[in-house]
Amino acid sequence: MAQVVAPDRLSLLVRYAELLATEGVLRGLIGPREVPRLWDRHLLNCALVGPLVPEGASVADLGSGAGLPGLVLAIARPDLRVSLIEPMARRVAFLEEACAELGLGSVEVVRGRAEECRSRFDVVTARALAALPKLLGWGMPLVAEGGQLLAMKGSSAAAEIADSGVELDRWRARAEVVTSSVPGSSVTTVVRVVREVDSGIGWRSSNARRRGREHA
């Protein structure tokens, strides 16, 4: 864990793990059977995404749920500005309480769906949210030019990329499978989707094109 989380941030991660194992279970955000494997399967798994995120980046975590990977990234990388986007009220309440408990002032909790968000971010993350073709439709409008979508996946990563050709063309983006691990741990598999610079794709550009057609 020390390879991806600085020693002075480890105590915060320990406290977050305690919240997941108690309030997270009571509120149905984490299954009781997941508690014994919180560190390897969840916390370390998410922390390994950190090295893929540029320094000082703005990050949107879609469907954040219990805060995985968004809260883990915020703890491990205090240089990041993280927005946790989650539509369900009980999950939002947990995220807000966790941020207050952990003193994470750089984290914003947003109640809403990805398609309702009009902000743009350097990095958009998602874990077990949707198959890649659908996820691209939700996440890519939020990715700034030159930014990236980091979708945490399992063994289906390559197949999901193969199924996403139409959507990747639509967003003028390219995708690749990236793996990350530390000795003695399981491997974290991420599909990294990168938008072309000046691709002209996104909510604002789509609205601008629509207005242009209306005035034509």
Res 190: pLDDT: 97
137 pLDDT above the threshold of 50: yes
Tens of pLDDT, residues 190-213: 999 998 765 444 444 434 334 444
* DSSP class of 1: -
Band of pLDDT at residue 2, cut at 50, 70 and 90: low
CA distances (Å), origin 168, targets 69, 152, 155, 171:
23, 17, 20, 5
Res 197: pLDDT: 66
Tens of pLDDT, residues 91-114: 999 999 999 999 999 899 999 999
35 pLDDT above the threshold of 90: yes
Tens of pLDDT, residues 138-184: 999 999 988 999 999 999 999 999 999 999 999 999 999 999 988 77
**Beta strands of the chain (E only): which ranges?**
58-62, 81-86, 107-111, 121-127, 143-153, 173-180, 188-195
* Chain mean pLDDT for the chain: 90
Res 117: pLDDT: 94
Please give the share of the chain, as a percent, with pLDDT higher than 90: 79
Lowest mean pLDDT among 16-30, 32-46, 190-204: 190-204
* DSSP class of 77: -
Cis peptide bond prior to 69, omega within 30° of 0: yes
Res 199: pLDDT: 47
The two three-digit tokens of residue 37, written as one number: 């494997």
Res 5: pLDDT: 86
* DSSP class of 107: E
Burial class of residue 144 (count of CB atoms within 10 Å of its CB; 0-12, 13-18, 19+): middle
